[in-house]
């Protein structure tokens, strides 16, 4: 699972706090430090760098509910 985020994003902070216990099970990608990641986020969000964008089982989710991400992370072993 990949979680695309950027510093200063309130929604990213909420997600981070919500999944803290399982955070190490995901790859956290800062789109401001990774141009390819930023391009990917734009490609799945109509040209916008909307974060958090979370890829769960190969499907990109834009600003998903923290519960959805927490459940997916818990399922990873």
pLDDT score recorded for residue 54: 98
What CATH number should be reported for the domain holding residue 17? 3.40.30.10
pLDDT digits (tens, 9 = 90+) for 6-46: 999 999 999 999 999 999 999 999 999 999 999 999 999 99
Say how many domains are in the chain.
1
Contacts of 56 (CB under 8 A, 6+ apart): 1, 64, 68, 69, 72
Average pLDDT for residues 37-57, to the nearest whole number?
Answer: 98
Contacts of 53 (CB under 8 A, 6+ apart): 3, 4, 41, 44, 45, 60, 61, 62, 63
Instruction: Give the range of the structural domain holding residue 41, as residue numbers without chain letter.
Output: 2-75
Average pLDDT for residues 69-77, to the nearest whole number?
Answer: 93
pTM: 0.95
Cα–Cα dist 52/5, whole Å: 5
Average pLDDT for residues 39-63, to the nearest whole number?
Answer: 98
The residue whose two tokens read 């760098």 is 49
Average pLDDT for residues 65-77, to the nearest whole number?
Answer: 94
């Amino acid at each position: 699972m990949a979680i695309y985020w950027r510093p200063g994003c309130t929604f990213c902070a909420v997600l981070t706090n919500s999944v803290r216990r399982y955070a190490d099970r995901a790859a956290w990608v800062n789109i401001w430090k990774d141009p390819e990641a930023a391009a990917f986020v734009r490609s799945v969000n109509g040209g916008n760098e909307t974060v958090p964008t979370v890829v769960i089982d190969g499907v990109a989710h834009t600003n998903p509910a923290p519960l959805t991400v927490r459940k997916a992370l818990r399922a990873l072993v």
